[in-house]
Structure 1
């Protein structure tokens, strides 16, 4: 069931979104060669603590997961697409990092992701990241009343495919509100003009993921969480929580 939010409730969700934005900015600022993903998880947790917010990721256990997620930050490096568990191995020069983070504040959730490099960036990685951001921008531009979920999916998928990249099969965004995952699902590819009609008050987490190798296949690590590209190519991920309003899309997780 799609739950519509009032203007006041969207304002309250914006407060949670600001916490997410600050945490991702702090993680990006702290990320460097020699810093561990676990160090970055601690940075993100401190932002939560200072804001009086909690994590919707920590302890989260959907049906597919063998164990609850053990961190507040998903940190996926190089060939990891999403759901990477922060570990102790330090980041290396040229690593591509995707950070996905959520916050719960005042009973509302926010969710966003950003990809970046540490040390000397590969031009191919920068292009991959730029495409994920362009796909996100295209998806957000399509998030207007009267359009349908398929229009968002088509905008994202068209951008990714035009660049020659793969799109992980079966993964995409979602509705968000009191819970981190609500209806409707938001695919990252599909035909336009189909699916749930967009109405003011809907709030969506729009999150394109792109695979440099051009394939859509992935595999899951033994930890039951981390998804990796089958061919070992690198991946990028971009996400914002976006409200559908009569004045156009409103990004709730921007700084």
Structure 2
């Protein structure tokens, strides 16, 4: 069994991933600024050397749309080099980061390139959007009387648990490089997903698709963020909603 470090180990993906790794018998170190055992701030690298001491695998799930991902990656690379024991740095990325000129996607691509050029053993997995993100987007849009969403943009959501399963398989001391993408089982317009979500939550708000402008919108309409040929996910959005409803009683 290995000693595995997980950044973002208390987040949407990191939490189930850490649980799966522990169930498999690994020693798991979850990094957090407020962790009792491994207090780490990825923004400045404080605590990383102690957290990575003796670790064989590092799974990097932490990310922030507000910025700082590239600097965090540089701190991780430096600490992994100093540790001298990290044989595989596993990174979770997004399908389409190399073709959709969205700011957050560009940052994810920049992190991929930093890792690939680090001289470390690296594994990179790209997936489509999580079911949770679709729900979050619709919830935010539904704060208005009319739910306005970009027209013509399709989404291929995937179950976060399936991504955690795949990352747990990849979290071995042997790096795999860029592995095949993972996509959800269904591709539908975001407006359709929104109506499904609102119906499940008892909301009657109307959903309206709004045409937008710009290169990023055009890239999303073309489906650069989709992976229809890699629709390997099994869990559907309807099943996600059923579990969400049951969990809330």
| TM-score, normalised via structure 1 length | 0.29
Which structure has more relative contact order (CA 8 Å, sep 6+)? It is 1
Structure whose CA Rg is larger:
2
- Compare the two structures and name the one with the higher strand fraction: 1
- Higher-helix-fraction structure: 2
Query: What TM-score, normalized to structure 2?
Result: 0.30
